[in-house]
């Protein structure tokens, strides 16, 4: 069996129909466990106090903000190269999720930054690149909504996705590229010295798994919606021509 079979909408709908519920249940379990563990059963940090608990929302949402765009980049490339409609619709379906994750990362970062840095906002390289990434998400969704022909919309948004990928990469590596600004380095690292302490790390990993699973569940649900809307459009077109 080939992976490309899932580019067939019927095959995609049949497979995701079976997958959707288990993925949603797993996501709820992971998110519930991680957030309850992090919020109720982890100690305060000696410097940050209880604001360290914001890490369980901020880090996973920021990771997803970048990785959702990476997923959109891959599916956009598949559309541009192989013209599979499901991949273009999956990119369209993922955009509102990515925008929400980016907004959540910006919001939790601002709420954490106020007591820790003494400011809600700073034109720091990472913060600024995240804001631009958020604007790219909005522009991407607006472009899909403003072009009537779905194939033309898919072409234009795919190109926009390629351009926006520069900011997705900048968002990830801004701290390393420009060694300035307020934002600290990555909270998760293979280097034990840089990584957060185990007591925070374990619930954080569970939360990240929860966010990833929630994204998978939502993107499947929303892609199914987009496939149905496309089918409605095709049937209505047939009715008009008959």
Nearer to another protein, 197 or 232 (CB): 232
Nearer to another protein, 67 or 173 (CB): 67
Helix/strand/coil for 1: coil
β-pair partners for 49: 45
* Residue 61 beta carbon to another protein: minimum distance, rounded to whole angstroms: 7
**Binding site residues, another protein, CB under 8 A:** 35, 39-40, 44, 49-51, 53-54, 57-58, 61, 96-97, 100, 103-104, 107-108, 111-112, 114-115, 214, 218, 221-222, 224-225, 228-229, 231-232, 235-236, 238-239, 242
* Residue 94 beta carbon to another protein: minimum distance, rounded to whole angstroms: 11
User: 115: burial class by Cβ within 10 Å (0-12, 13-18, 19+)?
Assistant: exposed
Can you give the C-alpha Rg of the chain in angstroms? 20
Q: Which residue has the tokens 């021509």?
A: 241
How many other β-carbons are positioned within 10 Å of the β-carbon of residue 163? 10
Nearer to another protein, 31 or 170 (CB): 31
Nearer to another protein, 61 or 171 (CB): 61
How many other β-carbons are positioned within 10 Å of the β-carbon of residue 120? 12
The rounded distance, in Å, linking the Cα atoms of 167 and 136 is 9
Answer whether 214's CB lies under 8 Å from 35's CB.
no
- The closest alpha carbon to 129, from 177, 85, 82, belongs to 177
Token output for 37: 């563990």
The answer for residues whose C-beta is within 8 angstroms of residue 29's C-beta and 6 or more apart is 210
* Residue 150 beta carbon to another protein: minimum distance, rounded to whole angstroms: 15
Nearer to another protein, 192 or 238 (CB): 238
* Residue 213 beta carbon to another protein: minimum distance, rounded to whole angstroms: 13
Nearer to another protein, 96 or 181 (CB): 96
* Residue 178 beta carbon to another protein: minimum distance, rounded to whole angstroms: 26
* Residue 203 beta carbon to another protein: minimum distance, rounded to whole angstroms: 13
Q: Backbone phi, then psi, for 194, in 5-degree steps?
A: -85, -25
């Amino acid at each position: 069996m080939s992976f490309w079979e899932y580019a067939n909408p019927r095959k995609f709908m049949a497979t995701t129909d079976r997958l959707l519920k288990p993925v949603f249940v797993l996501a709820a379990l992971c998110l519930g466990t991680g957030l309850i563990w992090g919020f109720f059963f982890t100690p305060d940090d000696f410097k940050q106090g209880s604001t360290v608990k914001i890490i369980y929302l901020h880090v996973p949402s920021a990771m997803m903000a970048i990785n959702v765009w990476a997923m959109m980049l891959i599916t956009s490339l598949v559309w541009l190269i192989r013209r599979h409609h499901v991949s273009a619709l999956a990119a369209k379906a993922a955009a509102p999720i990515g925008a929400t994750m980016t907004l959540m990362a910006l919001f939790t970062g601002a709420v954490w930054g106020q007591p820790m840095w003494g400011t809600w906002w700073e034109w720091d390289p990472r913060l600024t690149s995240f804001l631009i990434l958020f604007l790219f998400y909005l522009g991407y969704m607006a472009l899909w909504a403003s072009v009537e022909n779905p194939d033309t919309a898919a072409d234009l948004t795919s190109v926009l996705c390629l351009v926006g990928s520069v900011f997705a990469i900048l968002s990830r590596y801004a701290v390393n590229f420009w060694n300035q600004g307020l934002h600290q380095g990555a909270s998760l690292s293979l280097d034990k010295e840089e990584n957060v302490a185990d007591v925070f790390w374990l619930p954080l990993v569970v939360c990240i798994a929860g966010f990833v699973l929630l994204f998978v569940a939502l993107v499947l649900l929303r892609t199914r919606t987009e496939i149905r809307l496309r089918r409605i459009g095709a049937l209505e077109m047939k009715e008009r021509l008959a």
